[in-house]
Amino acid sequence: MAAKMQAFMNKCMTDMTNVHFMSQRSDWQTPDDAYALLDAEFGFDFDPCPHNPTIDGLSCGWGKSNFVNPPYGREIGKWLKKGHEEHLLGKTVVFLIPSRTDTRWWHDYVMKADEIRFIKGRLKFKGAKNSAPFPSAIVVFR
C-alpha cells in the first residue's frame, strides 16, 4: 500500500511541476501600455522578434536600443544569449520574459543584466482572455 501511495504522490508532484513549465503558446504579445512605458524610458529603435517577423532576429545585428519579447519556449535561452552578446557591443537590450529563476538561461544571462524588474502580479498579454499563467520580469542590459 505504501508503494502505491508513493507512486501516486510522485505522479501528482510531476503533474504539478509540469504545469508550471507548460504553455499552450509561446507568442505572448506585449501589452500596449507596458511597451509604451518602456519605450518612453529607453527610446527603442529595433525589435528583433516582432509578432509577425520578417527578419531572423537571432542572425542579424540589432539596433542601438532594443525591445525583446522573445518566444517563451525552449528557444528563449538563444534570445537571451544573443541579447547579451548585443549588449557587449554597446547596445541597450530590454527583455520582457517569464520569471524563471530556476533555469539555466536565467543564471547564464539574466543574472548578468544591469537591472531586473519583477512585475507585481500577472501580466495580461495583448489578445489574451486571461492573465498569464506565469510571473514576468523586465530585464535590462545597458
Per cent of the chain over pLDDT 70 is 81
pLDDT in the model for residue 21: 40
pLDDT in the model for residue 53: 83
Rounded to whole angstroms, the Cα distance separating 20 from 2 reads 28
Residue ranges for the chain with pLDDT beneath 70: 1-26
pLDDT in the model for residue 71: 92
Grouping H, G, I as helix, E, B as strand and the rest as coil, residue 37 is: helix
pLDDT in the model for residue 16: 39
Torsion of CA 54, 55, 58, 63, to 10 degrees: -120
Rounded to whole angstroms, the Cα distance separating 131 from 94 reads 22
pTM of the model: 0.81
Encode pLDDT of 71-80 as tens digits. 998 999 999 9
Q: Does the 24-141 domain belong in CATH 3.40.50?
A: yes
Query: b vs e for 44-75, b when ≥16 Cβ sit within 10 Å of the residue's Cβ?
Result: bebbbbeeeeeeebeeeebeebbbbbbebeee
pLDDT in the model for residue 20: 41
pLDDT in the model for residue 18: 42
Phi, psi (degrees; rounded to nearest 5) at 97: -140, 165
pLDDT in the model for residue 52: 81
Average pLDDT, the chain: 87
CA 116 to chain centre: 12
Residue with cell 538561461: 105
- Domain map (residue ranges) of the chain: 24-141
